[in-house]
A and B are shown apart, each in its own frame.
Chain A
Amino acid sequence: MRQLNNILEGFGSTILLLFRSIGYLPSLPRQFGRFVEQCYLIGYTTLPIVAILSFFIGSVLALQAGYSMQNFGAKQFIGSLVGLSMARELGPVMVAILLAGRVGSAITAELASMKVYQEIDALVTMNIPPVRMLVMPRLAAAVVMVPVLAIIANLVGWFGGAIVSKYTNFISIDPPAYFAALRRFMEFKDVANGLIKAEVFGLGVVLVCCNIGLNTRGGPREIGASVTRAVVTSLILILVLDYFVTKALM
């Protein structure tokens, strides 16, 4: 019962945090410096790991698809399979998971330590709302940067699949054929779908991580606990949201 209470409280405070952040949105131009800094952290520095991971996910998809499809001669559809799975599902989910692990944990750790060391309280006494200064620029940066990461993940994954399809003995499908198959069964709608999903996930992850960070109570030990909780909650949120967003977009 208490746990259910905690979950509901967390849910409610997260939603409240979102609305308060939206309320502070007009002050974004003034916080342009912080916004750019967060964009840099969320987007630019996350790019390498996103690129590496999506490349190999695309490759493995092509490899597995080729391996299982060679028996019934559907190899020419590898392009469509990799293209659709990357764009609709794996690209956005992977970006969100990396975001939770790499950026979300850092956000929670920073906010939790600010909370524990009373920096948040200091902001409050200085009449500077912590949400305005700490949460809103991060959310805005996530909104702007996550789709960029997702589209890069898609393209890199597609090319990974194309390379594997060409150079694997039992597949050996040339890139033109691969991309022709990819284009044949795909529309921009599928990619847009994925980008919307990435956007929702990115927003959710940053929001949850900020909320858990700001609600940290106790000593330095709680910082670690908060980070763990933030990452776990983010991962659960991503997969639960994934189902509902996918369903809603169908």
Chain B
Amino acid sequence: MATAPDVTRNPFTQTESPAVGVTIENLSKSFGTFEVLKDISFAVKPGEIFVLMGPSGSGKSVLLKHIVGLEMPTAGKVTVDRRDAAAEETREHVRMALVFQAGALFNSISVYDNLALYPREHRIGNEASIREKVMHALQILSLENAAQKFPSELSGGMKKRVAIARALVMEPQLMLYDEPTSELDPVMGATISEIIATLKDQYHVTTIVVSHDRDLALNIADRVGILMGGRLVFLGPPSELHEPKDPKVADFLHPKIDLQNPRFKQLET
């Protein structure tokens, strides 16, 4: 890493803008009486890849939504670049891109228009420069041939890549991925992981990945957090995960398929 760790390089213009940090302080969130997140605190440093892991339903996606401001905390505070994530103005100052689990592509318009929507709506450059940007982003993810296709014509892996390309066009300072490798075959999963790491290396974007993909976490993460039952049970570099102290964490990371004593039978007793 030759560049200063607190600067994001724009993937298109190569201009540099400060990378942003994310802090989460005593965050709690309830839906009705059901408490999803319980008093969570951690910080993501500018320019690092932070992987948030945890079993299904542990509240990872909800936590992610708090960072982009789609959910309001019941208690506590989330700040992005020292601004309240829940406030609308934050998104005016910090370019954040969230890659949704299912892609969340706009189904009624083509892949090209999906990517061009952001610069068009925010009037960044003319149509020619937008075209250049979009084609560049598609090239990065080797999607040039899909430009005129509609999202419904794409495979799951392609949708995820288009979603990442769409995030890239936004020239984000903060990239968030929600389950980028789920529902993909192992090779495609590895490819996506490589893309995430490459993007971070080349452009120094602060990256938060929500995933339960162990390989991804162990290979590209700078730091890993593990959520269980709405609580943060582990926070540290991936090297610490090879020998976890907490048995639940160990079970989550290295689940043994025990046919003699299956888990669903343990729950019954």
Contacts and interface: CB of A to CB of B under 8 A. Distances in A.
A121 B91 CA distance: 13
Given A117-B102, A118-B104, A125 B96 contact: yes
A133 interface: yes
Q: What is the predominant secondary structure among interface residues of chain A facing chain B?
A: helix
A126 B104 contact: no
Nearest to A27: B121
A122 interface: yes
Interface string B75-108: 0000000000000000110011110101011111
A118 B91 contact: no
B153 to A, nearest CB: 16
Contacts of A113: 107
Most buried by B among A119, A125, A126, A128: A125
A75 B122 CA distance: 63
A125 B97 contact: yes
B104 A128 contact: no
Interface in A27-58: 30
A84 B121 CA distance: 46
Contact of B121 (A110, A124, A133): A133
B118 A126 contact: yes
Contact of B70 (A110, A125, A133): A125
Given A126-B170, A127-B91, A121 B70 contact: yes
Contacts of B102: 117-118
B104 A124 contact: no
Contacts of A126: 97, 117-118, 121, 170
Q: What is the predominant secondary structure among interface residues of chain B facing chain A?
A: loop
B107 A117 contact: yes
B170 A122 contact: no
B121 A119 contact: no
A28 to B, nearest CB: 14
A126 to B, nearest CB: 5
Interface string A4-26: 00000000000000000000000
B21 interface: no
Interface in B121-149: 121-123
Interface in A113-145: 113-114, 117-119, 121-122, 124-128, 133
B91 A125 contact: yes
A229 to B, nearest CB: 21
Contact of A125 (B68, B105, B117, B122): B68
Contacts of B95: 127
A127 B121 CA distance: 9
Given A126-B170, A127-B91, A127-B92, A121 B100 contact: yes
Contacts of A128: 117-118, 121-122
B170 to A, nearest CB: 6
A127 B122 contact: yes
A240 to B, nearest CB: 32
B70 A119 contact: no
Contacts of B65: 121
B69 interface: yes
A11 B69 CA distance: 25
Contacts of B96: 125
A133 B118 CA distance: 12
Given A118-B100, A126-B97, A133-B121, 17 more contacts: A117-B107, A118-B104, A119-B104, A119-B107, A121-B65, A121-B98, A121-B100, A121-B104, A122-B98, A122-B105, A122-B106, A124-B69, A125-B98, A126-B117, A126-B121, A127-B122, A128-B117
Interface of B: 65, 68-70, 91-92, 95-98, 100, 102, 104-108, 117-118, 121-123, 170
Interface of A: 30, 110, 113-114, 117-119, 121-122, 124-128, 133
> What 9 A-B pairs come out closest when comparing CB atoms?
A118-B104, A122-B104, A127-B91, A125-B98, A128-B121, A125-B68, A118-B100, A126-B118, A119-B104
26 contacts: A114-B107, A117-B104, A118-B100, A118-B102, A118-B104, A119-B104, A119-B105, A121-B65, A121-B70, A121-B98, A121-B100, A122-B98, A122-B100, A122-B105, A122-B106, A124-B68, A125-B70, A125-B91, A125-B97, A126-B97, A126-B170, A127-B122, A128-B118, A128-B121, A128-B122, A133-B121
